[in-house]
Amino acid sequence: MASAAEVKTGHNVEGTVVERVNNMREAIEAGADEAQQLRHLPSWLTDQMIKENIFLFACPPEYGGEDATVQETIDVLEAVAAIDGSVGWNVMIGSEINAMAAGGLPEERVKEVFLDNPGVIMCGGGGPGTSATPHAKKVDGGYKVWAETSFMSGCHNSTWAFQNAPLVNDEGEPILDENGMPSMHMWFINKEEFEIQDTWNMASLRGSGSHHVKSDGAFVPDRHEPVQLMLPARHPNPVYRIPVSMRLSYNKVGTALGVARGAIDSFIELAQNKTPLMSASTLKDKPLAQYRLGEAEATVRACRAYVMETMTAITDELTWSLDGPEQPSWETTQNARLACTHGAQASLRAVDLIHNTSGTSGLRMDNPLERKLRDAHGCAAHRWVSPALYEELGATLFGAEPGMGLL
């Protein structure tokens, strides 16, 4: 990772990103508590994280980032999510999409977006909203976009939103691509052009602000033409040649592992101070608590090792060079997708295990384990690490061809 002295952020930052995150623990905890009520992160917290370059660390140094590797990215996401899952989820989405935009927007647009605004945060989601069919039309000087997108985590604090919509002609008919299919595009929408729909009222990742975003004729100037996230790589970091589905997977499991780590740490603190009902000794002296803590710790460590091993195999295969392969082989991708899926699912089971062992104390709303339990379920439910991936990947182990969602 680039050193802090090399970062063109406009902010004075010192130490590694993980060190800066840990130094912000008290602020993150306070902001996370407030986010449970707001159902999105408070702006003062995101402002503090911006000053510490928390949302740009995965971008190239020339755009204000720190050129994080896959492994360094996972380290950062774990560190934040161990403190709070919703804050971790926002950092994951913001840094992930910022890095994708830095690698996928035309170079002149990247300079405009990042260098002119070192505090930029972007949001994006994959789910459809509830409004009419999304579409975009060419107009003088640019395009107009009508779309509603769900699960737009961090939208309240985002400068830009990515939304998918097909291009249509003046009669409203889809413009077809070379394969005869509607020409789908990803549009780069400024915050002045989109509206936030208050739809995120969830138990899990409650403070993540994953509301719907709606564009009702949002204007996109020609210079912000439709985004291509998989342009030929301009940066040697192998991250920029990892397929989008794989990037979405390792970012999600990094957050899930962090939530599990935070739950284990919270359980250790609780067990040292709690004396269960009708007991003369603390919870930490109970054989069941010792057994389950050991099982949970081993589970999370094993999952993390599997994820790191398989992601290292991918980056080693791609090499740190623009002359390396354009994308990883299916064999290494398959193994890494299994690792990410298993990491999220097994982390959930570890959190369930120690939460159950904590007794009724873990059910209290003011106990950190209660929120960790909710957030672990949200992480493991995400499409890119969900149980459905076991079935899809299992079919490929029997020889089936991988679907587009696996590549």
Chain region(s) in the chain for CATH 1.10.540.10: 4-120
3-state secondary structure of 151: strand
What is residue 341's predicted lDDT score, i.e. its pLDDT? Answer: 98
Per-residue pLDDT for 131 more than 70? Answer: no
CATH 2.40.110.10 occupies which residues in the chain? 124-224
Predicted pLDDT of residue 2: 57
The CATH 1.20.140.10 portion of the chain extends over: 238-406
List 187's β-bridge partners, or say none. Answer: 163
What SS3 state is found at 215?
A: strand
Kindly report, residue by residue over 78-93, the tens digit of the pLDDT.
Answer: 999 999 999 999 999 9
The DSSP-derived string for 220-242 is EEGGGPPB-TTPPP-SSSGGGGS
Contacts of 143 (CB under 8 A, 6+ apart): 136, 137, 167, 187, 219, 220, 222
pLDDT for 223 equals 87
> 392-398 contacts: CB < 8 A, separation 24 or more?
393/334, 393/337, 393/338, 393/341, 396/334, 397/334
Residue 110: its pLDDT value, please?
87
Query: What CATH number belongs to 238-406?
Result: 1.20.140.10
Q: Helical H runs in 105-202? A: 107-110
| Long-range contacts at 294-301 (CB < 8 A, ≥ 24 apart) | 295/350, 295/353, 296/260, 296/263, 296/264, 296/267, 296/350, 296/351, 296/353, 296/354, 297/264, 299/346, 299/347, 299/349, 299/350, 300/257, 300/260, 300/261, 300/264, 300/346, 300/347, 300/350
**Across residues 183-197, what is the average pLDDT?**
92
How confident is the model at residue 58, as a pLDDT? Answer: 96
Checking if the pLDDT of 56 tops 60, the result is yes
What is the radius of gyration, based on Cα positions, of the chain? 22
pLDDT of residue 236: 92
pTM of the model: 0.94
Longest Cα–Cα distance of the chain, Å, equals: 78
pLDDT tier for residue 253 given thresholds of 50, 70 and 90 = very high
**Confidence (pLDDT) at 104:** 80
Check whether 9 has a pLDDT greater than 70: no
pLDDT in tens, 151-174: 999 999 999 999 999 999 988 899
pLDDT at 5 over 60: no
- pLDDT of 105 reads 82
Predicted pLDDT at 279? 85
Would you give the distance in Å from CA 27 to the centre of its chain?
Answer: 21
Query: pLDDT, tens digit, for every residue of 374-387?
Result: 999 999 999 999 99
Pick the CATH number of 124-224 from 3.40.30.120, 3.40.1350.10, 2.40.110.10, 2.70.150.10: 2.40.110.10
Residue 229's pLDDT band (cuts 50, 70, 90): low
pLDDT, tens digit (0-9, with 9 covering 90-100), for 278-323: 888 999 999 999 999 999 999 999 999 999 999 999 999 999 988 8
Q: What was the pLDDT predicted at 3? A: 52
**Contact of 321 with 368, CB cutoff 8 Å:** no
114 against 390, higher pLDDT: 390
Q: Which CATH superfamily is domain 4-120 in?
A: Acyl-CoA dehydrogenase/oxidase, N-terminal domain (1.10.540.10)
Mean pLDDT (the chain) is: 92
Length of the chain: 407
What is the pLDDT confidence band of residue 108, given thresholds at 50, 70 and 90? confident
Judge whether residue 12 has pLDDT over 80. Answer: no
